[in-house]
Amino acid sequence: MEIKKNKLVFNIKDSGINGIITDDRKEIINLLSAEDKVSIIGEDFQYNYFDNTVYEYMTGEVERKNLILRDKAKKIKDSLRIVGLNKIDIDRNVTTLSESEKKLLQIAIALLSNPDILVFEEPFTKLDLKNQKKLMIFLGKIKEKFNKTAVFITNDSNVLYKYTDYVIIIQNKKLIMEGTRRVLEDVDALIKNNIKVPEIVEFTYKAKKKYNVKIDYHNDIRDIIKDIYKHV
């Protein structure tokens, strides 16, 4: 999908996970949400005073978002089931949900409008490693089963280098870099644009630059250890 506004043009790849680094998150979210079939999953879970249970929260969101659903109750239950929240969770008070469960509930709500693209604002800041992995497995499944695309908007380059396939960097309303996650290995360009270099890339870059060590860039620490062992 091509996103275009004035001189800014970038692509969301419908295969795999996209990552966007930007200095104007609000503007990019506005641009994406103006497209058809896009749902935004915000960084924070917004409580609503009047909705006590998970089910009430979901029906409340359907009304607040003016969603027109045929067989609302079934759709809500199906959506909860897809994200892995089960029958017991439907009657739970939303204030008792853990951070990961709140994220799943946000996704369940996003899925109600049957979007093609799920846009996550800072998806991992509140998730531990176990739940990050669970979310990635879930996104892999809905990609395979329902052909959904995910977009992560975050300035955490470590997360993008670890989990995404395609990276887009936008600064001052201009596209700076776009390509596979390997664009995050262009350390000089990242530094020039004041973008944090992923730690694992930075280490490899320093070894290459200072001692001309022939190790490759990897996004898994176990692979880099094997490479160091061969070249030390």
Partner 1 sequence: MKKIIELKNFNIGFYENTFYTISGSNNSGKTTLIRTLKHINNFSQAVIPFELRVSKNTILEELTYQNNDQEFINYLLKGLKIKSISKESINNLSKKEIILVQITLALSKRPKVLLLDSIGNYLKYEELKSIFKFLRDYQSKYALTVVTTTIHLEESLLTDYLYIIDDGMIILEGEPLEVLQKDNIINKAGLEVPFMIDLSVKLKDYDLISNIELDQDRMVDILWK
Could you tell me the CA-to-CA distances from 100 to 56, 60, 105 in Å, in that order?
A: 19, 21, 9
> What φ, ψ does residue 33 adopt, rounded to 5°?
-70, -15
Give percent helix, percent strand, percent coil of the chain, each to the nearest 5: 50, 20, 35
Q: Which helix (H) or strand (E) holds 20?
A: strand 17-22
72 vs 138, beta carbon nearer partner 1: 138
DSSP output for 129-161? HHHHHHHHHHHHHHHHHH--EEEEE-S-HHHHH
* In the complex, minimum distance from the CB of residue 13 to partner 1, in angstroms, rounded to a whole number: 27
32 vs 224, beta carbon nearer partner 1: 224
* In the complex, minimum distance from the CB of residue 153 to partner 1, in angstroms, rounded to a whole number: 15
13 vs 203, beta carbon nearer partner 1: 203
* In the complex, minimum distance from the CB of residue 208 to partner 1, in angstroms, rounded to a whole number: 10
Quick one: which of 217, 165, 231 has its CA closest to 187?
A: 217
Quick one: which of 119, 169, 117, 178 has its CA closest to 148?
A: 117
CB 69 within 8 A of CB 62: yes
The site for partner 1 (CB under 8 A) is made up of 88-89, 92, 96, 98-101, 125-131, 158, 199-200, 202-203, 206-207, 210-211, 213, 221-222, 224-225, 228-229, 232
* In the complex, minimum distance from the CB of residue 125 to partner 1, in angstroms, rounded to a whole number: 5
Give the amino acid at 169. I
87 vs 145, beta carbon nearer partner 1: 87
13 vs 102, beta carbon nearer partner 1: 102
* In the complex, minimum distance from the CB of residue 46 to partner 1, in angstroms, rounded to a whole number: 11
Quick one: which of 204, 212, 220, 76 has its CA closest to 162?
A: 220
* In the complex, minimum distance from the CB of residue 73 to partner 1, in angstroms, rounded to a whole number: 22
20 vs 215, beta carbon nearer partner 1: 215
